[in-house]
Amino acid sequence: MKSIPPLDTLLVLSAGRQQIPLLQTGKRLRLRVVAIDPCADASGRHLADAFYENDLGDLKACRAIATWESARGVLTAAADFPVSTVAHLCTTLGLPGLSEVAAICSTNKHHMRRRLNEMGVPCPRSLSARTYSEVVAALAEIDGAAILKPTVCSGGRGVTRLPASPSSDQVRTAYESAIQNTRSDGILVEEFIDGPEFSIETLTFNGHTEIVAVTDKLTTGDPYFVEIGHSQPACVGDGDRRLLIDAARTGVAALGIDWAASHVEIRLGREGPRIMEIGARLGGGCITSHLVPLSSGVDMLRATIQVAMGQAPDLRRGSLRGAAIRFFAPKPGRIRHVAGVEEARRMPGVCDLEVYIPSGDVVPALRDSSCRVGHVVCEGADAHEAIHRAEAAARRVQIFTESPIASAVGA
């Protein structure tokens, strides 16, 4: 009897909600999918052929697992923390992927700013600080509206915009939020760039960067700028689109990202594009898992897995359409009742709808992306129709909460 060759193994670092589409795609490609996550009850663990509960920062243990499982490719999605471990495994095991230097530059915002400045890539003026007094001095030097952010963190945690002349209480609160959320190297004090925000989804293979999508971002605005929506293709003129794409390519190259997906966040200010951050991994918030294939026909998860396995990516496009996501943002409090979900799912263009937390759980104040409690994804003939459909479906879903003093409020 002819023997069946073993399946190639894809190792996925983290197995949370945002990793689920990546795990599913690996299975669809008939790969043996292995996942590592520090949480024993990670929501995606049931999709893996083998699951290991392990600290993703434990390089020795992760290397032992990758070796034992004969991993042919290593990936993560929508999270910055595992990127350095991905790069370490690729480097030490001789697998296709990101270098450790590029991983540091894409996860430590101080190193990111320094490298972008060295390479002449436009980005906000940025000063490092570790103490409250250093923050006060940095704000005086910025002399205008500023952003305080953790140097090593993701998901918008600990990010606050301060006005041009903030009160001492505002500065103290912003400082404490940033310093409590950073994993190392203090915080950054940066000039605030006023203008619309976009993300550019890219895939780099053997040093060549392909632009997969340009995404519009919708945020809550001052002071935390939490992302509450995305849409594709971005509603921007051809000239500005070229500027955004050129800035993204230049930024990816400056950080040395030569074999990975990238999520490039850019603001289009009065003086042109300014790169906010570059993540050397797939974008979160359903951007690459849902919006990209709906708007362009490109299966970016499959293409990124192909790159991780050392194969040329398939980035063939289908017909251009529109796609949008809107996140639910009910008032903080304990969820009393959720209504309208099934009705919303039957509305035109709705492709995916999920409420993350059940009745009885507490909706936190919307301070960063981890506080979002659900979403709806819609498609349309163009971005405008997709946005209209997503916002209509989001209004149909009602999440009723009650405050600690038991006064009922609606979403």
Distance CA 48, CA 271 (A): 47
Mean pLDDT for the chain overall: 94
Contact by Cβ (8 Å): 151, 110: yes
Query: With 70 as the cut, is the pLDDT of residue 410 above it?
Result: no
More reliable by pLDDT, 347 or 406: 347
The CATH label, of 3.30.1490.20, 3.40.50.1360, 3.10.290.10, 1.10.10.10, for the domain at 125-191 is 3.30.1490.20
Examine residue 5 and say whether the peptide bond preceding it is cis (omega within 30 degrees of 0).
Answer: no
Confidence tier at 358 by pLDDT (50, 70, 90): confident
Contacting residues for 315 by C-beta, under 8 A, at least 6 apart: 203, 210, 212, 298, 303
Confidence tier at 173 by pLDDT (50, 70, 90): very high
For domain 323-409, which architecture applies?
Answer: 2-Layer Sandwich (3.30)
Return the domain boundaries, the chain: 9-95, 125-191, 195-320, 323-409
Same fold, 195-320 and 323-409: yes
At residue 317, the pLDDT reads 96
Contact by Cβ (8 Å): 228, 209: no
Dihedral sign for Cα atoms in the order 47, 51, 53, 56 = negative
- pLDDT, tens digit (0-9, with 9 covering 90-100), for 12-50: 999 999 999 999 999 999 999 999 999 999 999 999 999
- pLDDT, tens digit (0-9, with 9 covering 90-100), for 239-280: 999 999 999 999 999 999 999 999 999 999 999 999 999 999
**Across 340-362, average pLDDT:** 95
**Across 54-59, average pLDDT:** 97
Dihedral sign for Cα atoms in the order 182, 183, 186, 190 = negative
**Across 126-150, average pLDDT:** 97
Buried b (16+ CB within 10 A) or exposed e, 265-297: bbbbbeeebbbbbbbbbbbbbbbbbbbbbbbbe
Per-residue CA distances from 308 to 41, 209, 315 (Å): 26, 15, 15
The pTM is what? Answer: 0.93
In CATH, what number does 9-95 get? 3.40.50.20
* Assigned CATH topology for domain 195-320: D-amino Acid Aminotransferase; Chain A, domain 1 (3.30.470)
Categorise residue 138: left if φ over 0, alpha if ψ from -120 to 50, beta otherwise: alpha
Helices H / strands E in the chain, number of each: 12, 20
